[in-house]
Structure 1
Amino acid sequence: MAAEIYSSMVLDLIQRRDRPGGGYHPQPTPGGPSWCTCGRCRQMPTEAEKVCCGKSPDNCVSRTPDFQVVVLDEAVLRVSRVYRQDVLAVGEGDDLAKENRHAGYRQFILWTYGRLGTGVRKAIPSCCVWAIRDRYPDPFGQYVGFVPSRLS
């Protein structure tokens, strides 16, 4: 019985992986969701994540040259990961896309807000989150999403 259950779960994961977008990976819609002003945001699973950069379609943060370099460039993210590993004395994981996604999220926060401090978190605009996820996707479309601070 357990083998049947687990085998169907494995098949479901394989089918999700093979499907464009996998798990939760919505495709852009013209004009974006109602809460979006830049036109590049995608629907998000929670209210806390329904954040737009607030720019016009021509000036969306996710389209700026600085964003492309600071947040999406693989060489910049590599340097960021190595620095973080040195400071925190942690190793690198096996999933390079996941490591780059998380480094991209950290780079965006640092670039936009500076150092926030321990436990302080801010939601990243949907347009920027999906630019990072599109560049460094999870093969199964499984993303953790925004986790609010546990200190509040």
Structure 2
Amino acid sequence: MAVQARRDRQSQLEECISNMDLAALQETLKLVCKKQPSLLMDVLKTANDNGDPTPGNSPAVPDWCSCNNCREMPTEREKLCCGKIPQNCHTKLADFYTIVLDELVLEVAMRFRNDALAEPRDDNYNRAHRHTAYRQYVMWMHGRLGAGNRKVIPSCCIWKIRDQYPEPSGQYVGYIEGVLD
């Protein structure tokens, strides 16, 4: 049911794009660039090189990575890959985009969490979405965790989230050990 709904939505979007004139397409791309620059960069890169990474255009793949999408991480604990072959990397799954990267899904998850914990909304758009995406990934892969039960997110997933919702300074906190870890 959900797969068919996703296909129907994709068909509707493709039809809508086909019916747009050049000016409307340009304005739409400008809006995408403003809201999700990394998504547009991924699309443009794929369009330019047919999805084949060229030497020098992508970071070196660490030797501990099997999916070819990981990047070097600062601590041994964070040097974790999803363990899949490149075509099945978690970051390539449609569900990853829907559950972890989709802006609307993240907005709902943030509102739910803020309401449940009576927390104020984080005004830093990218940081709020990035942290929510991390929580969404953990919930999707491991279910609800609690105090003393923490999971490291694979590097490939961390970087896909960071590329989608970057920190302007490029400085990230990374995995923080829990008291009971």
TM-score range, shorter chain: 0.7 to 0.9
Which residue does 2:93 correspond to in 1? Answer: 64
Aligned pair count reads: 125
Which residue does 1:29 correspond to in 2? Answer: 59
Q: How does 1:2-151 map to 2 (within 5 A)?
A: 28-29=58-59, 32-151=61-180
Structure 2 distance, partners of 1:143, 1:86, is 26
Give percent identity, aligned residues only.
51
Q: TM-score, normalised by structure 1?
A: 0.79
CA contact (8 A) 1:62 1:131 kept: yes
Q: Which runs of 4+ in 1 moved over 2 A?
A: 27-30
Shift, 1:66, TM fit: 0.2
Q: TM-score, normalised by structure 2?
A: 0.67
CA contact (8 A) 1:33 1:41 kept: yes
Q: Tell me, which stretches of 5 or more residues in structure 2 are unaligned?
A: 1-56
Structure 2 distance, partners of 1:48, 1:28, is 23
- The alignment's C-alpha RMSD in Å is 1.2
Q: Which has the larger radius of gyration?
A: 2
Report 1 or 2 for greater relative contact order, CA contacts < 8 Å, sequence distance ≥ 6.
1
Hey, which of these two has a bigger chunk of helix by percent? Answer: 2
